[in-house]
Amino acid sequence: MNITHIINLFRAYLIENKKRLLIGAFITFGIVVFGFTVTTESVAFLSFPYYALFFLTCFTIFGFKNNRTQFFILPSTTAEKFIYAMVTIVIMGIVFYLLSLAGAYIGHYLIRPLLYFGTSHYMFNEVNILNDSIWSWKSYLSFISTLSVFLFGSIYFKTNAFFKTLGVGIGFLFGIGFYFLALLYITFGNMMFSDNSININLTDYPFFQTHYYIFPILIIVFFLSLTYLRLRETEV
């Protein structure tokens, strides 16, 4: 494995996608600033950079804007291209996270006081932005598992990878939901709709509460493996 090849791949990525990255960074920063300016209940805006990362992963990681085939014929191994993708995603995630923090502080502590000071609408509640921006480990696992799905979609679909991956994912979730509803109906019949309805909550099971991390880890390993194999197959 040649580190120089990975660096060259990353450099080529920045050159080819600098406009998209700048637009994504500007939109992310602007939305977070706006959110923390107009409301004190703005924790949800700190999640936006991660959704932007889903979008950029699908549209930019495995391909050049002018010719997607160029990426796969570059003189580097499958492992080098795979590591390049991982490193690029991590760097983008850190940069967008820092942008969201900067936007949150500017919106809440700089612009909001200027706009609302001295008016009846002014509310300057203390917000712990840094603390609110740090998720629980369960949330990070869920995010990474979702990101692994979008990474696979970026190499599986040749065009409109983000929307196709999103559509397939939503369709899959609906399919699983209908499958379990049908299974419950077949098992319990009309008892599900009677006054003595059955309360089934799988998340209350001790195993799922204690070992929640197993499922997102399995998803991460599964889709990263598929991504690597698909990358190798595409090159062949």
Domain boundary among 105, 133, 161: 133
Question: What is the average per-residue pLDDT within 18-31?
Answer: 88
Say whether both 5 and 111 belong to one domain: yes
Domain boundary among 133, 166, 194: 133
Question: What is the average per-residue pLDDT within 61-65?
Answer: 63
Compute the distance between CA of residue 213 and CA of residue 196 in angstroms, rounded to an integer: 34
Question: What is the average per-residue pLDDT within 121-145?
Answer: 70
Say whether both 125 and 194 belong to one domain: no
Query: Structurally, how many domains does the chain consist of?
Result: 2
Phi first, then psi: give them for residue 176, nearest 5 degrees: -65, -40
Question: What is the average per-residue pLDDT within 22-50?
Answer: 82
Q: Which secondary-structure segment (H or E) carries 8?
A: helix 3-38
Question: What is the average per-residue pLDDT within 148-153?
Answer: 88
Compute the distance between CA of residue 214 and CA of residue 226 in angstroms, rounded to an integer: 18
Say whether both 148 and 120 belong to one domain: no
User: How far, in Å, are 29, 111, 121, 229 from residue 45 at the CA level?
Assistant: 10, 16, 21, 35
Q: Is the dihedral of CA 195, 200, 204, 207 positive or negative?
A: positive
Question: For residues 197 and 123, is the Cβ–Cβ distance under 8 A?
Answer: no
How much is the pLDDT for 123?
A: 53
How much is the pLDDT for 168?
A: 85
Say whether both 139 and 123 belong to one domain: no
Which is higher by pLDDT, 74 or 124? 74
Name the band, by pLDDT with cuts 50, 70 and 90, for residue 222.
very high
Compute the distance between CA of residue 39 and CA of residue 106 in angstroms, rounded to an integer: 13
Q: Is the pTM of this model over 0.85?
A: no
Domain boundary among 102, 117, 133: 133
- Structural domain that includes position 113: 1-133
